Amino acid sequence: MATFTAACIQLRSGKTVAENAVAAEQLIRQAAGDGAAYVQTPEMSNVLVRSRDELMDRIGPEETDPFLAMARRVAAELSIHLHLGSLAILKEGGNAANRAFLIGPNGDVQASYDKIHMFDVDLPNGESWRESATYDPGHDSTLVDLPFGRFGMAVCYDVRFPAIFREQAKRGAEVLTVPAAFTRQTGEAHWHVLQRARAIENGAYVISAAQGGLHEDGRETYGHSLIVDPWGQVIAELDHDAPGYVLATVDTENVAKARARIPAIANERGFACRLADGLKEIPA
């Protein structure tokens, strides 16, 4: 069991990686100065560019990404665990990865995770997104052990696929993470309930830093970075869409307490899905 201070950094990332790194570094330093030992930034911290061609012109491989270099330097200087919610990283073959990084207090990358679920949707207000046209999806769910406990890594749209979080919780994750760049429309409708649901059903903390506001590429994101406790209570929220940060005390003893009260993971059973005649199983 461990107690630590966690921080969500809320950004309004634009098209220029170097400028985004400067803005993020300032907030990371402020959060660490307020006692945060674990600091999380949102999805696409390094750049938000809707045009595929323009994005590819602005990003590079992780070895040369200036945002990642800044993060490694700052994590080592401040002796914090710094979780980059994700960066757009150029891959061999012409596509990008939507890749999260967990950096330790020595500046080394302890874990990375490529977003599994691509946001390919057409929204009622006319917004249309096809992440799969730019990003290669990941295939593996990632867990990482920190001094405070076991963390599960996910990104944004993954939150709508509860199996990832259940499997992480079954494998000992006490803190689930969902850094995001939720659209304003979907955020207003679903952001809070999805974060709270993942916390409640798994008896785990959920930490979700967010992008917020009107971005340089014209998109609008919802903001409202959240930290939710294992009983589903919002214990910290940046209740707007402007850049900033929010802090909360996380006590992993509360994970054990929640799972003892409602042992949903222990009580889970496998089942088949069949038609009403009881004879024919319905394929997925």
* Residue 279 in this model has a pLDDT that exceeds 70: no
pLDDT band at 275 (very low <50, low <70, confident <90, very high): confident
Provide mean pLDDT across the span 219-234. 98
pLDDT at 126: 79
DSSP code of residue 274: B
Distance in angstroms (rounded) separating the CA atoms of residues 215 and 161? 27
- One-letter amino acid for residue 66 of the chain: P
* Residue 95 in this model has a pLDDT that exceeds 80: yes
Name the nearest CA neighbour of 228 among 188, 196, 258, 256.
196
pLDDT at 41: 99
* Catalytic residue annotation: 43, 115, 156
- One-letter amino acid for residue 1 of the chain: M
- Residue range 188-212, pLDDT digits in tens: 999 999 999 999 999 999 999 999 9
Q: In degrees, to the nearest 5, what angle opens at C-alpha 177 toward C-alphas 141 and 173?
A: 65
Boundaries of every domain in the chain: 3-267
Considering the chain, what is the average pLDDT of its residues? 96
Class of domain 3-267: alpha beta
* Residue 283 in this model has a pLDDT that exceeds 80: no
* Residue 127 in this model has a pLDDT that exceeds 90: no
* Residue 124 in this model has a pLDDT that exceeds 80: yes
